[in-house]
Structures are given as C-alpha cells and as structure tokens.
A and B are shown apart, each in its own frame.
Chain A
Amino acid sequence: MAVSPTKNGRLTRLDDQVTPAENIEKQRPKATEEQLIYSSILGAGRQMGLAGIIVAFVIYLTGIVEPKIPVSEIPKYWHLPSGQFMDVAGLKQGWAWIGMYHYGDMLNFFGVAALGLVSIVCYLAILPKLLRKKDIAFAVIALAEVAVLLFAASGIVHIGE
C-alpha cells in the first residue's frame, strides 16, 4: 500500500493493485446525499425555467400570442423608473402577471418565477434527509431560508415607492 498526502497533511491510502487513474477515482470524495438531491432538483428547475423563458420569448417575439405591450412599444417605456413604467403601461405590481397569462409578454414571467422558486423546492426536498440524520441545526436553517424566500416572493416588501 502506498500513501499520498493531501494538501493539509492528511494521509490517503493508495491501492497498489489498481491503476493510478482508478485510484484517483476510488479516492475522489463523494458529495453528501442531500447535496446530490439539492443538485438534481436545482438542475431540473433550471431546465424548466430556461425552457419556459425560451419558449415564452419565442412566443413574444413572433407575436403568436398577442402581448400586453407590443415589442415595438417597449423602447418608449424602458427609460422610465419601474413604478412609472407600470402606471403608463397599465400593469400592476406583484403577482398580477398571473392573471394576464393570455398575453404573450406576460408568459415570460412564468419562466422567471420558476427560476425564483426552485431554491425553495430544493430546501424543502432536503429537509426530510436532514431530519432523518437528526441534523437539527441545518434543518432549522433550511426552514428559515424557505421562510425568507417565501417572504421575498410574497410581494410584501414595498419600500422605495
């Protein structure tokens, strides 16, 4: 058996019966179970959000579904502060875009929202694993993060009006 030092001096045993490449693979640290769960859900959410944004943008640009604000009109508004833009364009703040799902431009917000919601799903998914491991501190951190993200998404924050 050979021995290989890590950067901080910890020694790692190497098996002489296998090739160096196999040794490296055998000794490669594995991500934790909850990290893998988080990763797979984050990846899926990313795909959904990106797909939603691309599809909605295609619909918006091609004009297949009538937009609330025609694409040619947007440059008339994009120099305005957001609050003024909403007023002029006849839009409402918060989650009002859901009720305007039949407009091509509003469809874009579904993809954007998917990107904004995926982290909440990730945290909720790893919660059972953390509780099963009796990792109470990190379970509390996960729950607190979910609460913070839900608070942000709720639209309750309206400072700067």
Chain B
Amino acid sequence: MLKKSFIVFGIIIVLVLLAVSPVMATGQPTASAASGTPWWVWPLSLFLLTFVMGIVAIPAGVGGGVLFVPIVSSFFPFNLDFVRGAGLMIALSGSLAAGPGLLRRGLADLRLSMPVALIASVFSILGAAVGLALPKNIVQFGLGGVILAIVVVMIIAKKSEYPTVKVPDSLSTALRISGIYHEDSTQQNVDWKIHRTPVGLVLFAFIGFMAGMFGLGAGWANVPVLNLVMGAPLKLSVATSSFLLSITDTSAAWVYINKGAIIPLIVAPSIIGMMLGAFVGAKLLTKAKPSAIRYFVIVMLFLSGFRAILKGFGI
C-alpha cells in the first residue's frame, strides 16, 4: 500500500515538476525546439519509458540498460556517450532497487556473486575505457551480435530452470559456493550447487568488458552464464544477476561519470523512472514462475539484439 502510494506520488511529482518548470512556462527556444520538439518532452518521455522498463527488466533478469541504450540512442537526440552513461546508471539503480530485497529473501546469493563480480568489475573498467574510444557503429553491431547469440543458446538449451549439477567443481567446493533457496511458486526448498566455475569466471571477464564497452549493464549475459554454464537454478540466476549488476555496473559507471558522460537532465528522470518501475518488477519476481521469466528474457533479448544489429548497419 505504502509502495503503491510512493510510486503514484513519485510519478505525480515528476509530471508536475516538468509542467511547472519555469523554462517550460517561458517556452524559450532550444536546439530540440528548433526541430519541432519542446525540450521538456525528452526528460518526460525518458521518465515514462524507464518506468515501464523498470517493471519488465528485473523479472526478465536483464538490466534496464540493455533496453535503454538501443531504444534511447535510436529515438532521442542525445550523444551515445550520454546514453551509455545513463544506461549504466539506470541499470545500476534498477539493480539497487531490487538487490536488497533479493539478498534478504535469499533469492540472490552473495557467495555466488562475489567472485564473479570481482572479475566482471575489473574488466568492465577496461571495457568502458575502450568503448568510449570505439566508433559508434562497431559498438552497435557487436552488441547486437552478442545478444542474438545468447538468445540462440537459450532457445536451444533444454534444461535450465533446475540444471543438473552432478559433481560441483573443485573451485566452487573450495569456496563453498552452494546453498538452498525457497521457491515461492512451488513452495519448495531448492538446494543448489554449481560446476564449471573457472569457465564461468572467464566468461564473466568477457561479460564485464562488454558491459562496460556498451554501457548496458550485464543482465543479458549474467543469467545465461550463471544458469546454463555454471548450473545455478534459473530463479537464483535471475536474482543473483539483478544484484550483481549493482557491483559490476558501479565500476563501469564511474568511468563514465569521471569522463563527464552524465547529464542530470537525462540521468535523473531515467533513474527515478527505473527505480519506481523496479519496485513493481521485484514484486513480480517472487510470484512469477521461472519459465515465465525465461520467456521474458528470450523475447526481450531478441528485440534488443535485433534493434542493435539494425543500428550497426545504419538502419
């Protein structure tokens, strides 16, 4: 009840602020106004767009950034630097909105997160630095290719809700990475362990690099690696991925912040919209069945990847 009131209040506040802003009232001409669009349309649209993204992104196990970057870079008049900076910030804020609750309920696992987060953080800094130097079309094309490849892997894979892990690998055994979580949809406790940890760590280095380079968070790849490669149950993978973004995106985001790729008028309405939407999305995660989440992941990744490929070709 309180959260519903908070969400409604937040939406009203932003709408009212944009409506009463003195600049909007005076109607001063701006660069965007010159193209026929008043300046305030952009932050207002960003707020509404990210609110919807926040609702669907968390249950789908993707950071909002993976949807935000291709869509906003296509339809908004911002330089890609600012879109990627904002993409990382909203992916971070979406993760922060859901992370505490997921950790508290044991759906996200800290021991599973910490080693992979460390690897991904280091490489996300490298990726952010390299990504800010690469031509835009190469970034878009690479992004689309990677996402579509993941979609193919997820469609082909037969067992993913509760992967079979016969023998945990020696590294995960030494680090005691295993546990039990409660599956609300079936009212059962699910015990889990992982395998192929060294392979997973190598892949998380790659994921971190790509996340930093494209500025789109890393949920799009975290879930398949945790679930399909390392053998964590799908729901645990989705929740751990959501939390994981709060660490890996932070390191990449700092590179963008320090480079000046953050404009408050772009970032603030996006973060507020994403956080409000993520409160709703986190509620869905505890109630929805893992298979429903999987369908969300596949459809959303496909749409994002296809869009990025088109952008890479300049379409």
Contacts and interface: CB of A to CB of B under 8 A. Distances in A.
Interface of A: 4, 6-8, 10, 12, 24, 27-32, 34-36, 38-40, 42-43, 45-46, 49-50, 53-54, 56-58, 60-63, 70-83, 85-86, 91, 93-95, 105, 108-109, 112-113, 115-116, 118-119, 126, 137-138, 141-142, 144-145, 148-149, 151-153, 155, 157-160
A71 B21 contact: yes
Contacts of B253: 116
A78 B125 contact: no
A115 B110 contact: no
A38 to B, nearest CB: 6
Contacts of B287: none
B127 to A, nearest CB: 11
Interface string B96-137: 110111011110011100110110011001001111110000
Interface of B: 10, 13, 17-18, 20-23, 26, 28, 30-33, 39, 42, 77-79, 81-82, 85, 89, 92-93, 96-97, 99-101, 103-106, 109-111, 114-115, 117-118, 121-122, 125, 128-133, 162, 174-175, 179-183, 187-192, 233, 246-247, 250-269, 271-272, 275
Given A78-B78, A138-B114, A30 B264 contact: no
A30 B258 contact: no
A-B CB proximity, top 5 nearest: A160-B132, A159-B129, A160-B133, A43-B100, A108-B264
A93 B114 CA distance: 30
Contact of B189 (A28, A80, A141): A28
B258 A94 contact: yes
Given A53-B268, A60-B264, A85-B79, A157 B258 contact: yes
A63 to B, nearest CB: 5
Given A39-B104, A160-B132, A7 B190 contact: yes
Contacts of B266: 78
Contact of A29 (B103, B111, B180): B180
A6 B23 contact: no
14 contacts: A29-B181, A38-B103, A50-B93, A57-B17, A63-B23, A70-B23, A72-B28, A72-B39, A75-B31, A82-B260, A85-B79, A105-B265, A112-B89, A159-B133
Contacts of A145: 114, 117-118, 121, 247
A82 B189 contact: no
Nearest to B192: A8
Nearest to A32: B110
A83 B259 CA distance: 7
Given A6-B180, A85-B260, A115-B92, A31 B104 contact: yes
B100 to A, nearest CB: 4
Given A39-B100, A160-B259, A152 B251 contact: yes
